[in-house]
Amino acid sequence: MGVTSDPDHCTRRRLLRATGVVGAAGAAAAFGLGGSGSGVAQNESADSNASNETGGPAESEVGSEYAAVYRDTIDSVVLVTVTGTSGPGTGGGGLGTGFVIDDEYVLTNNHVVEAAREGGIELQFSNEEWRAASIVGTDAYSDLAVLRVEDMPEVASGLSLAESEPIIGQEVLAIGNPLGLDASVSQGIVSGTGRSLPSPTGFSIPAAIQTDAPINPGNSGGPLVSLEGEVLGVVFAGAGQTIGFAISAALANRVVPALIEDGSYDHAYLGVGVQPVGPEIAAEIGLEEATGVLVMEVVPDGPADGTLQPASTTRPGSGDVIVAIDGQAIPNQPALSSYLALETSPGDTIELEIVRDGEHQTVEVTLEERPEAEQPRTPIGGPREEPPTTDP
Protein backbone atom coordinates (compact mmCIF):
# COMPACT_ATOMS: atom_id res chain seq x y z
CA MET A 1 0.00 0.00 0.00
CA GLY A 2 1.14 3.53 -0.67
CA VAL A 3 1.97 5.74 2.27
CA THR A 4 3.28 9.27 2.51
CA SER A 5 6.33 10.26 4.46
CA ASP A 6 5.64 10.14 8.19
CA PRO A 7 7.65 10.16 11.44
CA ASP A 8 8.25 6.43 11.28
CA HIS A 9 9.76 6.75 7.84
CA CYS A 10 11.81 9.73 8.97
CA THR A 11 13.18 7.69 11.84
CA ARG A 12 14.05 4.89 9.44
CA ARG A 13 15.84 7.29 7.12
CA ARG A 14 17.86 8.70 10.04
CA LEU A 15 18.78 5.14 10.97
CA LEU A 16 19.96 4.44 7.43
CA ARG A 17 22.00 7.62 7.44
CA ALA A 18 23.55 6.93 10.81
CA THR A 19 24.47 3.32 10.17
CA GLY A 20 25.82 3.86 6.65
CA VAL A 21 23.96 0.89 5.18
CA VAL A 22 25.99 -0.76 2.45
CA GLY A 23 24.59 -1.90 -0.84
CA ALA A 24 22.69 -4.99 -1.73
CA ALA A 25 24.48 -7.85 -3.51
CA GLY A 26 26.57 -6.84 -6.46
CA ALA A 27 28.21 -3.65 -5.21
CA ALA A 28 31.98 -4.08 -5.30
CA ALA A 29 35.29 -2.37 -5.99
CA ALA A 30 35.73 -1.07 -9.52
CA PHE A 31 32.19 -1.64 -10.71
CA GLY A 32 30.89 -1.40 -7.15
CA LEU A 33 28.01 0.91 -7.61
CA GLY A 34 25.02 -1.14 -7.14
CA GLY A 35 22.30 0.01 -4.87
CA SER A 36 24.60 1.16 -2.17
CA GLY A 37 25.67 4.12 -0.15
CA SER A 38 24.72 5.74 3.10
CA GLY A 39 21.44 7.45 2.56
CA VAL A 40 19.66 10.72 2.81
CA ALA A 41 16.01 10.88 1.95
CA GLN A 42 14.56 12.76 -0.96
CA ASN A 43 13.63 15.43 1.54
CA GLU A 44 13.68 18.42 -0.74
CA SER A 45 11.63 19.18 -3.78
CA ALA A 46 13.14 18.55 -7.18
CA ASP A 47 13.38 22.27 -7.91
CA SER A 48 15.08 23.18 -4.64
CA ASN A 49 17.55 20.32 -4.98
CA ALA A 50 18.46 21.26 -8.53
CA SER A 51 19.20 24.82 -7.51
CA ASN A 52 20.98 24.07 -4.24
CA GLU A 53 23.18 21.11 -5.18
CA THR A 54 25.58 23.19 -7.26
CA GLY A 55 25.01 26.45 -5.43
CA GLY A 56 23.87 28.07 -8.69
CA PRO A 57 20.63 29.78 -9.69
CA ALA A 58 17.34 27.93 -9.84
CA GLU A 59 16.65 25.99 -13.03
CA SER A 60 13.86 28.39 -14.02
CA GLU A 61 16.51 31.13 -14.12
CA VAL A 62 18.97 29.05 -16.09
CA GLY A 63 16.69 27.62 -18.74
CA SER A 64 19.33 25.19 -19.98
CA GLU A 65 18.65 21.96 -21.81
CA TYR A 66 19.95 20.02 -18.83
CA ALA A 67 17.58 21.80 -16.46
CA ALA A 68 14.67 21.14 -18.79
CA VAL A 69 15.42 17.42 -19.04
CA TYR A 70 15.89 17.21 -15.28
CA ARG A 71 12.60 19.00 -14.66
CA ASP A 72 10.74 16.72 -17.08
CA THR A 73 12.12 13.46 -15.71
CA ILE A 74 12.91 13.81 -12.00
CA ASP A 75 9.36 13.14 -10.80
CA SER A 76 9.63 9.68 -12.38
CA VAL A 77 12.94 8.81 -10.70
CA VAL A 78 12.75 7.17 -7.27
CA LEU A 79 14.96 6.38 -4.33
CA VAL A 80 14.86 2.62 -3.73
CA THR A 81 15.39 1.55 -0.11
CA VAL A 82 15.87 -2.12 0.64
CA THR A 83 15.61 -3.98 3.91
CA GLY A 84 17.44 -7.24 3.39
CA THR A 85 17.06 -10.64 4.93
CA SER A 86 19.71 -9.71 7.49
CA GLY A 87 18.15 -6.39 8.36
CA PRO A 88 19.39 -2.80 8.04
CA GLY A 89 23.00 -2.10 8.86
CA THR A 90 24.16 -5.71 8.61
CA GLY A 91 24.88 -5.95 4.89
CA GLY A 92 21.42 -7.17 4.02
CA GLY A 93 19.97 -3.91 2.77
CA GLY A 94 20.85 -0.82 0.84
CA LEU A 95 19.88 2.06 -1.38
CA GLY A 96 19.58 2.48 -5.11
CA THR A 97 17.61 4.18 -7.82
CA GLY A 98 14.72 3.23 -10.08
CA PHE A 99 12.42 4.93 -12.53
CA VAL A 100 8.76 4.69 -13.46
CA ILE A 101 7.97 3.07 -16.83
CA ASP A 102 4.16 3.24 -16.66
CA ASP A 103 1.35 3.82 -14.17
CA GLU A 104 2.13 0.61 -12.28
CA TYR A 105 5.75 -0.43 -12.76
CA VAL A 106 9.23 0.77 -11.78
CA LEU A 107 12.45 -0.48 -13.39
CA THR A 108 15.71 -0.91 -11.45
CA ASN A 109 18.73 -3.23 -11.22
CA ASN A 110 18.36 -6.78 -10.01
CA HIS A 111 21.38 -6.35 -7.74
CA VAL A 112 19.66 -3.43 -6.00
CA VAL A 113 16.72 -5.56 -4.80
CA GLU A 114 17.86 -9.19 -4.94
CA ALA A 115 18.59 -9.36 -1.20
CA ALA A 116 15.30 -7.75 -0.17
CA ARG A 117 13.13 -9.57 2.32
CA GLU A 118 9.39 -9.82 1.67
CA GLY A 119 7.87 -6.40 2.12
CA GLY A 120 11.32 -4.88 2.37
CA ILE A 121 11.28 -2.51 -0.62
CA GLU A 122 10.11 1.07 -0.28
CA LEU A 123 10.29 3.89 -2.80
CA GLN A 124 10.46 7.60 -2.20
CA PHE A 125 9.37 10.00 -4.91
CA SER A 126 10.48 13.57 -5.55
CA ASN A 127 7.42 15.00 -3.72
CA GLU A 128 8.45 13.07 -0.58
CA GLU A 129 5.68 10.50 -0.91
CA TRP A 130 6.57 6.92 0.00
CA ARG A 131 5.24 3.76 -1.59
CA ALA A 132 5.77 0.10 -0.84
CA ALA A 133 6.87 -1.95 -3.85
CA SER A 134 6.85 -5.65 -4.67
CA ILE A 135 9.03 -7.56 -7.11
CA VAL A 136 7.24 -8.56 -10.31
CA GLY A 137 10.16 -10.15 -12.13
CA THR A 138 13.95 -10.28 -12.09
CA ASP A 139 16.68 -11.30 -14.50
CA ALA A 140 20.17 -11.78 -13.11
CA TYR A 141 21.71 -12.09 -16.59
CA SER A 142 20.72 -8.57 -17.65
CA ASP A 143 20.69 -7.29 -14.04
CA LEU A 144 17.17 -5.91 -14.43
CA ALA A 145 14.20 -6.03 -12.08
CA VAL A 146 10.63 -4.76 -12.37
CA LEU A 147 8.77 -3.56 -9.28
CA ARG A 148 5.03 -3.01 -8.87
CA VAL A 149 3.57 0.00 -7.08
CA GLU A 150 -0.11 -0.34 -6.19
CA ASP A 151 -0.84 3.39 -5.97
CA MET A 152 1.55 5.38 -8.12
CA PRO A 153 1.82 9.06 -7.10
CA GLU A 154 0.17 11.45 -9.52
CA VAL A 155 3.42 13.34 -10.09
CA ALA A 156 5.11 10.31 -11.63
CA SER A 157 4.67 9.35 -15.27
CA GLY A 158 6.37 6.65 -17.30
CA LEU A 159 9.70 7.33 -18.97
CA SER A 160 10.19 5.83 -22.43
CA LEU A 161 12.94 3.36 -23.28
CA ALA A 162 14.60 4.52 -26.50
CA GLU A 163 14.04 2.47 -29.65
CA SER A 164 16.98 3.98 -31.53
CA GLU A 165 20.63 3.18 -30.86
CA PRO A 166 22.68 5.72 -28.89
CA ILE A 167 25.27 7.67 -30.83
CA ILE A 168 28.83 7.85 -29.55
CA GLY A 169 29.45 11.44 -28.56
CA GLN A 170 25.84 12.39 -27.84
CA GLU A 171 25.14 14.12 -24.54
CA VAL A 172 23.43 12.21 -21.73
CA LEU A 173 22.33 12.78 -18.15
CA ALA A 174 22.49 10.23 -15.34
CA ILE A 175 19.74 10.86 -12.80
CA GLY A 176 19.60 9.12 -9.44
CA ASN A 177 20.79 9.01 -5.85
CA PRO A 178 24.60 8.75 -5.81
CA LEU A 179 25.95 8.08 -2.34
CA GLY A 180 22.38 8.46 -1.13
CA LEU A 181 22.29 12.11 -2.25
CA ASP A 182 18.76 12.39 -3.52
CA ALA A 183 17.56 13.62 -6.89
CA SER A 184 21.01 14.27 -8.35
CA VAL A 185 21.95 14.72 -11.98
CA SER A 186 25.32 14.38 -13.72
CA GLN A 187 26.18 15.14 -17.32
CA GLY A 188 28.39 13.44 -19.87
CA ILE A 189 28.44 11.82 -23.27
CA VAL A 190 28.05 8.32 -24.68
CA SER A 191 31.66 7.17 -24.68
CA GLY A 192 31.10 3.77 -26.26
CA THR A 193 28.48 1.18 -27.17
CA GLY A 194 28.36 -2.59 -27.47
CA ARG A 195 30.43 -3.13 -24.34
CA SER A 196 30.52 -6.56 -22.68
CA LEU A 197 30.48 -6.28 -18.88
CA PRO A 198 31.46 -8.92 -16.32
CA SER A 199 28.60 -10.20 -14.20
CA PRO A 200 28.24 -12.37 -11.08
CA THR A 201 26.38 -14.95 -13.18
CA GLY A 202 29.51 -15.87 -15.15
CA PHE A 203 27.81 -14.62 -18.33
CA SER A 204 28.65 -11.09 -19.41
CA ILE A 205 26.03 -8.38 -19.85
CA PRO A 206 26.11 -7.55 -23.58
CA ALA A 207 25.37 -4.43 -25.62
CA ALA A 208 26.14 -2.10 -22.69
CA ILE A 209 26.64 1.65 -22.97
CA GLN A 210 29.77 3.38 -21.68
CA THR A 211 29.55 6.97 -20.48
CA ASP A 212 31.78 9.55 -18.84
CA ALA A 213 28.89 10.93 -16.78
CA PRO A 214 29.92 10.53 -13.13
CA ILE A 215 28.39 7.34 -11.68
CA ASN A 216 28.60 6.51 -7.98
CA PRO A 217 27.16 4.00 -5.50
CA GLY A 218 23.43 4.57 -5.32
CA ASN A 219 23.09 5.54 -9.00
CA SER A 220 22.43 1.93 -10.02
CA GLY A 221 19.00 1.34 -11.48
CA GLY A 222 18.54 4.96 -12.51
CA PRO A 223 18.00 6.23 -16.05
CA LEU A 224 20.69 7.39 -18.45
CA VAL A 225 18.67 9.82 -20.54
CA SER A 226 19.18 11.72 -23.76
CA LEU A 227 18.51 15.44 -24.04
CA GLU A 228 15.18 14.43 -25.56
CA GLY A 229 14.27 12.75 -22.28
CA GLU A 230 14.39 9.18 -23.61
CA VAL A 231 16.01 6.48 -21.51
CA LEU A 232 19.05 5.19 -23.40
CA GLY A 233 20.05 2.81 -20.64
CA VAL A 234 19.68 1.65 -17.05
CA VAL A 235 22.71 2.70 -15.01
CA PHE A 236 24.62 -0.39 -13.92
CA ALA A 237 28.04 0.44 -12.55
CA GLY A 238 31.03 2.74 -12.61
CA ALA A 239 34.70 1.93 -12.93
CA GLY A 240 36.26 5.30 -12.20
CA GLN A 241 35.72 9.03 -12.35
CA THR A 242 35.14 9.08 -16.10
CA ILE A 243 33.90 5.56 -16.86
CA GLY A 244 30.39 4.35 -16.12
CA PHE A 245 28.13 1.77 -17.71
CA ALA A 246 24.44 1.33 -18.40
CA ILE A 247 22.39 -1.63 -19.58
CA SER A 248 21.16 -0.64 -23.02
CA ALA A 249 17.54 0.21 -23.74
CA ALA A 250 17.78 -2.29 -26.59
CA LEU A 251 18.32 -5.13 -24.11
CA ALA A 252 15.80 -3.73 -21.63
CA ASN A 253 13.15 -3.53 -24.37
CA ARG A 254 13.48 -7.29 -24.85
CA VAL A 255 13.70 -8.28 -21.20
CA VAL A 256 11.22 -5.98 -19.41
CA PRO A 257 7.99 -7.10 -21.16
CA ALA A 258 8.80 -10.72 -20.28
CA LEU A 259 9.50 -9.80 -16.65
CA ILE A 260 6.10 -8.13 -16.44
CA GLU A 261 4.30 -10.95 -18.20
CA ASP A 262 6.11 -14.03 -16.86
CA GLY A 263 8.40 -12.85 -14.06
CA SER A 264 11.49 -14.06 -15.95
CA TYR A 265 13.23 -13.90 -19.32
CA ASP A 266 14.72 -16.74 -21.37
CA HIS A 267 18.09 -15.94 -22.95
CA ALA A 268 19.34 -17.70 -26.06
CA TYR A 269 22.29 -20.05 -25.54
CA LEU A 270 24.85 -21.30 -28.06
CA GLY A 271 27.00 -23.26 -25.61
CA VAL A 272 30.53 -22.32 -26.64
CA GLY A 273 33.57 -20.70 -25.09
CA VAL A 274 35.43 -18.31 -27.36
CA GLN A 275 38.41 -16.01 -27.48
CA PRO A 276 39.35 -13.13 -29.81
CA VAL A 277 41.22 -13.83 -33.01
CA GLY A 278 44.48 -11.87 -32.97
CA PRO A 279 47.11 -11.70 -35.72
CA GLU A 280 48.96 -14.76 -34.42
CA ILE A 281 45.84 -16.94 -34.34
CA ALA A 282 44.74 -15.62 -37.73
CA ALA A 283 48.10 -16.62 -39.24
CA GLU A 284 47.92 -20.11 -37.73
CA ILE A 285 44.39 -20.72 -38.99
CA GLY A 286 44.95 -19.21 -42.39
CA LEU A 287 42.75 -16.12 -42.10
CA GLU A 288 43.61 -13.14 -44.26
CA GLU A 289 42.74 -10.75 -41.42
CA ALA A 290 42.38 -10.99 -37.65
CA THR A 291 38.62 -11.04 -37.16
CA GLY A 292 35.99 -13.30 -35.63
CA VAL A 293 36.08 -15.47 -32.52
CA LEU A 294 37.89 -18.76 -32.07
CA VAL A 295 35.87 -21.59 -30.51
CA MET A 296 37.92 -22.83 -27.57
CA GLU A 297 35.26 -24.92 -25.86
CA VAL A 298 31.99 -26.59 -26.83
CA VAL A 299 29.70 -27.38 -23.89
CA PRO A 300 28.88 -31.12 -23.83
CA ASP A 301 25.28 -31.77 -24.89
CA GLY A 302 24.88 -28.06 -25.61
CA PRO A 303 23.37 -26.62 -28.80
CA ALA A 304 26.71 -26.48 -30.65
CA ASP A 305 27.92 -29.93 -29.56
CA GLY A 306 28.62 -32.05 -32.65
CA THR A 307 28.44 -29.03 -34.97
CA LEU A 308 31.28 -26.73 -33.96
CA GLN A 309 34.83 -27.93 -33.38
CA PRO A 310 36.89 -26.45 -30.54
CA ALA A 311 40.58 -25.64 -30.77
CA SER A 312 43.07 -28.18 -29.49
CA THR A 313 46.21 -27.30 -27.57
CA THR A 314 48.02 -30.08 -29.44
CA ARG A 315 46.94 -28.86 -32.89
CA PRO A 316 48.01 -25.27 -33.62
CA GLY A 317 45.61 -23.66 -36.03
CA SER A 318 42.73 -25.98 -35.14
CA GLY A 319 39.26 -24.93 -34.04
CA ASP A 320 36.41 -23.16 -35.81
CA VAL A 321 36.40 -19.40 -36.15
CA ILE A 322 32.93 -17.82 -36.18
CA VAL A 323 32.99 -14.85 -38.55
CA ALA A 324 29.26 -14.22 -39.15
CA ILE A 325 25.77 -15.17 -37.96
CA ASP A 326 22.85 -15.01 -40.38
CA GLY A 327 24.94 -12.81 -42.63
CA GLN A 328 25.88 -10.39 -39.82
CA ALA A 329 29.64 -10.01 -39.34
CA ILE A 330 30.94 -11.09 -35.92
CA PRO A 331 34.31 -9.38 -35.48
CA ASN A 332 34.70 -10.07 -31.75
CA GLN A 333 33.15 -11.66 -28.65
CA PRO A 334 31.05 -8.60 -27.64
CA ALA A 335 29.49 -8.63 -31.11
CA LEU A 336 28.67 -12.33 -30.74
CA SER A 337 27.06 -11.81 -27.32
CA SER A 338 25.14 -8.75 -28.50
CA TYR A 339 23.77 -10.51 -31.56
CA LEU A 340 22.57 -13.50 -29.55
CA ALA A 341 21.04 -11.23 -26.90
CA LEU A 342 19.29 -8.75 -29.18
CA GLU A 343 18.46 -10.75 -32.30
CA THR A 344 17.73 -14.33 -31.23
CA SER A 345 15.58 -16.39 -28.86
CA PRO A 346 15.69 -19.98 -27.60
CA GLY A 347 14.48 -22.31 -30.34
CA ASP A 348 15.80 -20.16 -33.20
CA THR A 349 17.97 -21.87 -35.80
CA ILE A 350 20.89 -19.67 -36.81
CA GLU A 351 23.32 -19.99 -39.70
CA LEU A 352 26.95 -19.63 -38.68
CA GLU A 353 29.67 -18.75 -41.14
CA ILE A 354 32.85 -20.37 -39.88
CA VAL A 355 36.42 -20.88 -40.98
CA ARG A 356 37.58 -24.47 -40.46
CA ASP A 357 41.05 -25.58 -41.51
CA GLY A 358 41.36 -22.43 -43.59
CA GLU A 359 38.11 -23.02 -45.50
CA HIS A 360 34.90 -20.99 -45.23
CA GLN A 361 31.69 -22.95 -44.70
CA THR A 362 28.27 -22.56 -43.10
CA VAL A 363 26.63 -24.66 -40.40
CA GLU A 364 23.30 -24.43 -38.61
CA VAL A 365 22.71 -24.51 -34.85
CA THR A 366 19.38 -24.44 -33.00
CA LEU A 367 19.70 -22.28 -29.90
CA GLU A 368 18.46 -23.40 -26.51
CA GLU A 369 17.52 -21.67 -23.28
CA ARG A 370 20.48 -20.55 -21.20
CA PRO A 371 21.02 -22.87 -18.22
CA GLU A 372 20.39 -21.58 -14.74
CA ALA A 373 23.19 -19.44 -13.34
CA GLU A 374 25.75 -21.19 -11.18
CA GLN A 375 27.38 -19.69 -8.13
CA PRO A 376 28.96 -16.32 -8.89
CA ARG A 377 32.26 -16.64 -10.73
CA THR A 378 33.18 -13.05 -11.57
CA PRO A 379 31.88 -10.41 -9.14
CA ILE A 380 30.76 -7.04 -10.37
CA GLY A 381 33.89 -4.99 -10.26
CA GLY A 382 36.14 -8.02 -10.53
CA PRO A 383 38.71 -8.65 -13.24
CA ARG A 384 37.69 -8.95 -16.84
CA GLU A 385 36.71 -12.44 -17.92
CA GLU A 386 39.68 -14.09 -19.53
CA PRO A 387 39.26 -16.28 -22.60
CA PRO A 388 37.90 -18.75 -23.08
CA THR A 389 34.51 -17.66 -21.85
CA THR A 390 31.28 -19.61 -22.07
CA ASP A 391 29.22 -16.41 -22.45
CA PRO A 392 27.36 -17.42 -25.63
Nearest-angstrom CA–CA distance, 110 and 220: 10
Q: What's the Cα-to-Cα distance from 195 to each of 190, 211, 316, rounded to whole Å? A: 12, 11, 30
pTM for the model: 0.80
- pLDDT value of residue 240: 73
- In this prediction, residues 287-313 reach a mean pLDDT of 94
- pLDDT value of residue 36: 46
Residues recognised as catalytic: 111, 143, 220
The pLDDT tens digits of the residues spanning 202-250 come to 899 999 999 999 999 999 999 999 999 999 999 998 877 789 999 999 9
Nearest-angstrom CA–CA distance, 311 and 214: 42
Residue 371, pLDDT > 70, answer: yes
The pLDDT tens digits of the residues spanning 135-192 come to 999 999 999 999 999 999 999 999 999 999 999 999 999 999 999 899 999 999 999 9
Average model confidence (pLDDT) across the chain: 82
Question: What number of other Cβ atoms are within 10 A of residue 368's Cβ?
Answer: 18
The pLDDT tens digits of the residues spanning 27-55 come to 333 344 444 433 333 333 334 344 444 44
Nearest-angstrom CA–CA distance, 11 and 29: 30
- pLDDT value of residue 45: 37
- pLDDT value of residue 112: 95
> Higher-confidence residue: 253 or 376?
253
Q: What's the Cα-to-Cα distance from 77 to each of 37, 42, 272, rounded to whole Å? A: 17, 11, 39
Residue 378, pLDDT > 90, answer: no
- In this prediction, residues 60-87 reach a mean pLDDT of 84
Residue 17, pLDDT > 90, answer: no
Nearest-angstrom CA–CA distance, 66 and 69: 5
Helix (H) or strand (E) holding 272: strand 272-276
- pLDDT value of residue 317: 77
End-to-end CA distance of the chain: 41
Nearest-angstrom CA–CA distance, 288 and 168: 30
Helix (H) or strand (E) holding 245: strand 243-248
Question: At how many degrees (to 10) do helices 333-343 and 249-262 cross?
Answer: 40
List of residues 6+ apart from 109 with CB closer than 8 A: 26, 34, 35, 96, 143, 144, 145, 220, 221, 234, 235, 236, 247
Helix (H) or strand (E) holding 250: helix 249-262
Percent of the chain that is helix, strand, coil (3-state, to 5): 20, 35, 45
Q: How confident is the model at residue 6 (pLDDT cuts 50, 70, 90)?
A: very low
Percent of the chain's residues with pLDDT above 90: 67
> Higher-confidence residue: 377 or 84?
84
